[in-house]
Amino acid sequence: MTAHQNMLPQNGSQSRRKRKFTENESSGSGKDCKRNKVSSHDSNSIRKGKSEEVVSESNTGDIKKKKAVKSTGNRKLSKSERNKLYYEKNKDKIKESKRLRIQNAKKENSELSKCSTKLTRTEINRRYYEKHKEKIKESWITKYKDPVRQAAELAQKRAAYALPENRIAKLAAWKKSYNDPIKHAAQLAQKKAEYAVPEKRLAKLARQRMSYKNPVNKALLLTKRKVTQAKKIASQSDYSYLLSQARKAMLEMPTLACTVCHRARFKEQVKLCHRGKYPQKEAVMKCFTGKYIHKCSTSCNDTSVDHKRKKQEWICHTCHRHLLKGNMPPQASVNNLWLDDIPDELKALNALEMHLVSIIQPFMKIVPLPRGAQKGVRGQMVCVPANLQRTADSLPWTLNTGNLIRVKLKRKQQYKGHHLCMTVSQKRVMEALERLMEINPAYKGK
């Protein structure tokens, strides 16, 4: 008997209200008398909240189970326990629904499941997008049309990016992916291959034009352009910024040659030459000489930035403007302004040997400029004519043409000091003079 059975109404029979005693308990001990007294006062003890039970040995196991159930019913079950009870109760239904869901998914994506081992992930995503294009577009529209949701997402991203550890980790991942030469080269090759297809290039241009026709996009582009122009104007008015830019530009030498006028220019003075942009006229096409495009050989191991630039064709802005109009630039090399290549006999001469074979000796004061790797002339420059016959007679020529002679060059013979002191080869000097007499009319008769 449990405690709640004692709470039955008192108008029942005498047998219901009596408690059952075991054989041991029914022996006439003092304790039994006390228990009889307690049984006579059942109603009072129940009102006071007391429940004393005497049960038989056969019912002890059932009562323990009921007490355990009652104790668990009093406390609140955890989520894992509730899930476990629910799963034990509905185990068959859950397994059947899972089996049906997997079966339906296999039926819907039968093509993708067959090709999943052969196709790449991008191809699978593309096919999925083509199949569910409308649903994806609707979800995008509902997502990005809600300004509150979009503002919340942007605020969350900014807050995450504001943390220094997240920002550093993101920059490190970006640098790692960008600095990987194999991956970077593969990405560049893929973009070039896509851009080489004329249909894709035209489609991209058409999309850009259509987006520009949209008044909202057009207004955004115009505002961005105005902001950049305002920043440029503000930076141009800053003298320190202009000075720093000028000093930075002076560090580089004019190493890029125009393919039309053959003049050496700085990086800011030239642009890449695309011959397809210009009118296809004979007067225009013959201006492109391509003379100073570097072509690497097997012995060429230079990997610097200047070396990569020299392998491309460049054109100065002046020649570019003339050619766009279909005219020949006035300073084009094909306009009777070309220069012959330097002969090999003259290329082999050192500084003192060049002085010996020249018919004019220039005197000037050359000083290094305060900024950059350039030099300038200070003061006047005087050109003194040289007598080649007198120079040849003053040198100790020998019968052996392979001899080397130590020569000092003075600005004036009365001076003790010298300007240059180098070793001169008799053979190289004679070969250079013979070559100059053939190609230069000023040397004939000397």
Please state which of the ranges 55-69, 331-345, 398-412 shows the lowest mean pLDDT.
Answer: 55-69
User: Is the per-residue pLDDT at 46 higher than 80?
Assistant: no
What is the token pair recorded at 103? 């079966």
Closest-CA residue to 3 (of 57, 70, 58): 70
pLDDT value, residue 70: 44
DSSP string, 312-330: S-EEEHHHHHHHHTT---T
How far is Cα of residue 72 from the mean position of the Cα atoms in its chain? 60
20 vs 139: which has the higher pLDDT: 139
Cα–Cα distance measured from residue 435 to residue 344, given in angstroms and rounded to the nearest whole number: 10
pLDDT digits (tens, 9 = 90+) for 373-384: 778 899 999 998
Cα–Cα distance measured from residue 403 to residue 424, given in angstroms and rounded to the nearest whole number: 9
Please state which of the ranges 58-67, 88-97, 435-444 shows the lowest mean pLDDT.
Answer: 58-67
* Backbone angles phi and psi of 259, in degrees to 5: -75, -10
Torsion of the alpha carbons at 420, 421, 423 and 428, rounded to the nearest 10: 20
* Rg from Cα positions in the chain: 50
Q: Could you tell me the sign of the dihedral formed by the alpha carbons of 297, 301, 302, 308, in that order?
A: positive
Please state the rounded mean pLDDT for residues 351-375.
Answer: 86
179: how many CB neighbours lie within 10 A of its CB? Answer: 9
Q: Where are the alpha helices (DSSP H) in 109-163?
A: 110-115, 121-131, 133-145, 147-162
pLDDT digits (tens, 9 = 90+) for 300-316: 666 666 677 778 899 99
Mean pLDDT, the chain, rounded, equals: 75
Long-range contacts of 291-295 (CB under 8 A, 24+ apart): 291/257, 291/259, 291/262, 291/333, 292/257, 292/259, 292/262, 293/259
pLDDT band at 55 (very low <50, low <70, confident <90, very high): very low
Neighbour-count burial of 13, counting CB atoms closer than 10 A to its CB (0-12 exposed, 13-18 middle, 19+ buried): exposed
